[in-house]
Amino acid sequence: MTKTLVIAEKPSVAQDIVRALTPVAGKFDKHEDHFENDRYVVTSAVGHLVEIQAPEEFDVKRGKWSFAHLPVIPPYFDLKPVDKTKTRLNAVVKQAKRKDVTQLINACDAGREGELIFRLIEQYAGGAKPLGKPVKRLWLQSMTPQAIRDGFDALRTEQQMAGLASAARSRSEADWLVGINGTRAMTAFNSRDGGFFLTTVGRVQTPTLSLVVEREEKIRKFISRDYWEIHATFGAQAGEYPAKWFDPKWKKGEDVEARADRVWSAAEATAIANAVRGKQATVTEESKPTTQASPLLFDLTSLQREANGKFGFSAKTTLALAQSLYERHKALTYPRTDSRALPEDYLPVAKQTFEMLADSGMRHLAPHALTALNNNYVRPSKRIFDNSKVSDHFAIIPTLQAPSGLSEAEQKLYDLVVRRFMAVFFPSAEYTVTTRISTVAPHSFKTEGKVLVKPGWLAIYGKEAADEVEGGRDGDKGQNLVPVKPGEMVNTLQVDPKGLKTKPPARYSEATLLGAMESAGKQIDDDELREAMQEKGLGTPATRAAIIEGLLTEKYMLREGREIIPTAKAFQLMTLLRGLEVEELCRADLTGEWEFKLSQMEKGLLSRESFMAEIAAMTERMVKKAKEYDRDTIPGDYATLESPCPNCGGVVKENYRRFACVGKPGSEGCGFSFGKSPAGRTFETAEANALLRDKKIGPLEGFRSKAGWPFTSEIVIKYDDEAHNYKLEFDFGDDKKGEESGEIVEFEDASLGACPICGSEVHEHGSNYVCSKAVPTAAQPTPSCTFKSGKIILQQPVEREQMTKLLDTGKTDLLDKFVSMRTRRAFKAHLAWDKEAGKVNFEFAPSKFPPRKLAAAGAAAKTIAAKAGKTSAAAKKSAKPAAAKKAPATKTAATKAPRKAAAGKAPSAALAAVIGNEPVARPEAVKKMWEYIKAHNLQDPKDKRTIVADDKLRAVFGKDSAGMFELAGILGNHLGGE
């Protein structure tokens, strides 16, 4: 009997599909990596299992950070498994290749990414030739059992999905071409004078960054101007009312800051106030009804913007919450949508949703749902139900399933969606708007009153929305007005000129940046107009959060409160791209055009070939511009530092690459300068000022070695006797200098707690926390204790409060900014005192997801190995947790036999003289080598990254010294057979 293989994107979705199909297709048996019955085999990916890469003959690994092999534009792309999910990929491919499986169903998420995930798995499974099995597409927009069954009854053909598949592949390949070539070219350009300055660029991330940089440039260049408003209070028979002077003849001109109610001199404002003070005014007024409709239903971007504005949630957090409400709780429809309308046949479902909400027991929502049902609010409306405005998915709305067990954050987001869903069916809010003009000839004063007559949809939001009525918070707007009789003269009771200053544009928050990305940088406030523009936006609703997070991770932007601020690194990148005239990477509207072309491709209106040809041409031009640029500097808007040159007291100015002394007025510079981006980390202007002023700064994070490894260091400026000038140096804060010299240490800070080894006080000292008996002090010149722990470990700052907590309770809070030097991935851990080892070690939080029973022994061994012997000092050098000692996970009969135990390789005679004769893996050899180096004090005192060879090491190195980053390569040559 033949079977159909169903491939979902995530295990949870595979389980939902099995539960939904069981009543109609029969019971499924559960296997390790799939479910199976007589008709179906159901398995899943875990996101992307395969990624694209250039074929070996068209890409280059060595020298990839130079111009020599650029641009890399392969004629086709190979596939490679994602390392961390290779086992899962093999399991899925095994099912796809089964002879009894004759058809595949793509049940990955409905959208571009889901289509790509499946297509790449299918291609990989086929190998050199296509898999050759027919494919159908399951298109799910809701995860309820009935929606899943309905989806299986209406499977789409492979031909129907061809446009989406082309767009998915084109987007992936375009991002690869621009990202790989752009990043390598810009890194090569920035590193050509020495050092390594990783400069990442991307087809979407860089234009997004340009929006933030351009806004910051406007803020920095903004010159505030003084202006005045004239505020008055008038007295009528029925009471008092406020008003503001305005010029009824004013028309909008070239001055963007001019307004009808602004005057630009104090004298003019005072003259107007004096002219009307104490006089009577005539009154005219006009009242008219107006309505305000509710906002449209949410798509992902508008939901992210609203959640950021109301709750401060990041776009990434909102997406994760919405995804959880969709997948886990089945409470919301598919969240990665760009549509704000529902299908025209969805009216019955909308009514059922209101019925569910009315009966749900959610007291804050149920009464409004009942009101809608009793008053027949749920009826056809082109504003809500419109097939022409539904793309792959419809708007985000609640499902028919009432949720339970939501976290506080999930509940907030669910309420946000439900209120918006209900509000769109409720009547518009109705107001009476009164405009009153009080005239003391020739001056006019305006008062606007806005009275809520019928709340309509605002009733769902209560006071919160009523207070947010347009104009309701401006003091002279939105208030109830006391009546004025026809022909009544009113008295001018009080008039005050109010001095104000114009303000620069606001910095982007995540909410406003998402809006700018959606409209490719165009300022569009109207919902309907923004919806029409969104096909030309930057990225898609599903990718925008990741783009913002990527820019934050690469330190191009920082979050301060709710503001997003570009760093010096961002300004330097924009200066470079503008100077090279690579406008495609700077202009949001051009990238928005490409996004529009991808959406056209999805609809079958544009060929994949023409789009990719355009991307290839842009890539070639970008590399050519960088490669051929031959001027000394890049033109740009550069800063002048406040701190003087330490060598001659002259002025220090910024250029593209350096901060350099230009001398005192009338003289030339003395030659002092330092690079703006040592080891790939760009100084902020304030940091450069502080460095010149104090001659040291740090420790700072974010530096990278030539091999690309991250490290942390202090920066100092020292006088060089040979050069007769100051130069910049890294200071790795090795406090042994003081210990070896016998220099007495005096602690000025308060004790953090008791040393876990000897009970003495622990203090800050250089880049470490140390026991007061671990360094020479007046009380004890000879150190007797060994306790020391770094203030920054694997890029994670360890604050004083956390060290105090460790000393007091035995461990810190869970810290989340450690970065593995081996995988370069962030990880979370506690720092804990390991009494047995006599060191500070990592302690990992238990996983939320319990290990499978078969793998339990292996998981336990892995946890133990991960905790074994990791001091903070060792952690700075490596994130490899006792790899050689790690026990192998238990294997089932179905899996491959385990490889040989990690006996490693036999060391050469020269290496054996240093680390012993036992066969070792390279990581263990490096570890033993470092133990030897430390024990024999072989690090160069002036540069701790250089190892000075003794007789034994000279035989291994083949030279008198070696850099710390050379060690692994050298040892590889000395490790022989198994």
Q: Write out the catalytic residue numbers.
A: 334
Report the chain's C-alpha Rg in angstroms.
Answer: 34
One-character DSSP codes across 700-755: EEEEE-TTS-EEEEEEEEEEETTTTEEEEEEE---THHHHHHTPPP---SPP-EE-
Sequence-ordered list of residues with C-beta below 8 angstroms from that of 509, at least 6 positions apart, any chain: 308, 309, 562, 563, 564
Q: Is 643:692 a contact under the CB 8 Å cutoff? A: yes
Place of tokens 């505020």: 231
Alpha carbon distance 182, 178 (integer Å):
5
Backbone angles phi, psi at 107, to 5 degrees: -110, 25
Sign of CA dihedral 18, 19, 22, 24: negative
Alpha carbon distance 378, 355 (integer Å):
11
Q: Is 793:827 a contact under the CB 8 Å cutoff? A: no
Q: What angle do CA 617, 623, 626 make, to 5 degrees?
A: 140
Which of 319, 852, 286, 323 lies closest to 545, judged by CA?
319
3-state secondary structure of 159: coil
Q: Is 769:788 a contact under the CB 8 Å cutoff? A: yes
DSSP 905: B
Which of 215, 213, 207, 208 lies closest to 585, judged by CA?
207
Which of 36, 7, 5, 34 lies closest to 108, judged by CA?
7
DSSP 339: -
Alpha carbon distance 787, 771 (integer Å):
6
Alpha carbon distance 258, 103 (integer Å):
67
Contacts 24+ apart (CB under 8 A), 526-532: 527/295, 527/296, 527/302, 527/340, 528/296, 531/296, 531/340, 531/389
Query: Per DSSP, what are the bridge partners of residue 29?
Result: 36
Which of 124, 126, 127, 152 lies closest to 139, judged by CA?
152
Alpha carbon distance 881, 83 (integer Å):
19
Strand ranges (DSSP E) for 130-199? 135-137, 156-157
Whether omega for the bond prior to residue 907 falls within 30 degrees of 0, making it cis, is no
Query: Hey, what are 733's tokens?
Result: 């804060």
The H or E element containing residue 191 is: helix 162-191
Sequence-ordered list of residues with C-beta below 8 angstroms from that of 494, at least 6 positions apart, any chain: 232, 233, 277
Query: Per DSSP, what are the bridge partners of residue 50?
Result: 81
Q: In what order do the strands lie in the sheet with 826-834?
A: 815-819, 826-834, 839-843
Query: Hey, what are 510's tokens?
Result: 């995540």
Alpha carbon distance 892, 852 (integer Å):
12
Sequence-ordered list of residues with C-beta below 8 angstroms from that of 561, at least 6 positions apart, any chain: none
Give the count of beta carbons closer than 10 Å to the beta carbon of residue 899.
7
Query: Hey, what are 426's tokens?
Result: 């409720």
Q: In what order do the strands lie in the sheet with 673-675?
A: 651-654, 658-663, 673-675
Alpha carbon distance 67, 106 (integer Å):
41
Place of tokens 């009312």: 241
Which of 505, 514, 506, 537 lies closest to 305, judged by CA?
514
